[in-house]
Amino acid sequence: MMQITALNRHPLKAHGRETVERVTLHAGQSMPYDRLWAVAHDASKAMPGDWARCLNFTRGASSPQLQAITAKLDETSEMLTLHHPKRGEITFHPDRDKAAFLDWVGPLVAEGRAAPVDILRLDGRGYTDSAEPTLSLNSLASHAAVEALCGTPLKTARWRGNIWFDDAAPWDEFEWVGRDMKIGGARLHVSKRITRCLATTVNTDTGARDVDTLAALDQLGHRDFGVTLTVTTGGEIAVGDELELI
């Protein structure tokens, strides 16, 4: 039986990850509070209230230290706590306390990269990398296959995935594109494979690039890991739920 092993969200895109035990999905939306906010830089063309491509935002592919941030969101107050091994902890409201956050995060942005200047919010769908509201599904078996290619253990946090599952063969998920699945009370459609970037080469404990995951994937003839999902029927999903193809 394929089973959900972890659920993750990233309230502020590219700035911290958080593990949750359960979440209620809604049709046509991404995971609640996932990439709800994003950090626009001084070269961004993103407009408030509109989705924009990831190149408009500060991200781990170009500033690897961001990958070492962890997050904790209080859903009631929307206060967000971020922690980084070199910057300590900050608790702030992304809509109201932008200046404090920008001061905190500035030293983590790589030299020569566009400076962070604003936090934008996009309710309902979030600033996912795809133009449509999606979640990402990642396989522990495929992760283990990448570890074998790299010759070293890797933390799953490198992939910034929403839903992790086990008990399938490596790369089975690529064969599911175009199919539907049931998890808990929700139904989801498998949209496409996810092509990966330099962010996955970063150690999420230290923020340093240490393992060439992209070169490992190149050995397989692609740079894909995980698949995107769209929610067709809303419902609660939780760690331990069965993943069933339908």
Write the pLDDT tens digit of every residue in 9-59: 999 999 999 999 999 999 999 999 999 999 999 999 999 999 999 999 999
Does the global pTM surpass 0.85?
A: yes
Residue 168, φ and ψ in degrees, nearest 5: -130, 165
Domains and CATH numbers, the chain: 3-28+130-245 (2.40.33.20), 37-121 (no CATH)
Residue 126's nearest CA partner among 68, 201, 54, 224 is 54
Write the pLDDT tens digit of every residue in 96-122: 999 999 999 999 999 999 999 999 999
- CA–CA dist 192, 95 (Å, integer): 32
Going by pLDDT thresholds of 50, 70 and 90, the confidence category of residue 124 is: confident
Q: What is the three-class DSSP state of 174?
A: helix
Write the pLDDT tens digit of every residue in 179-226: 999 999 999 999 999 999 999 999 999 999 999 999 999 999 999 999
Question: Largest Cα–Cα distance in the chain?
Answer: 48
DSSP state of 173: G
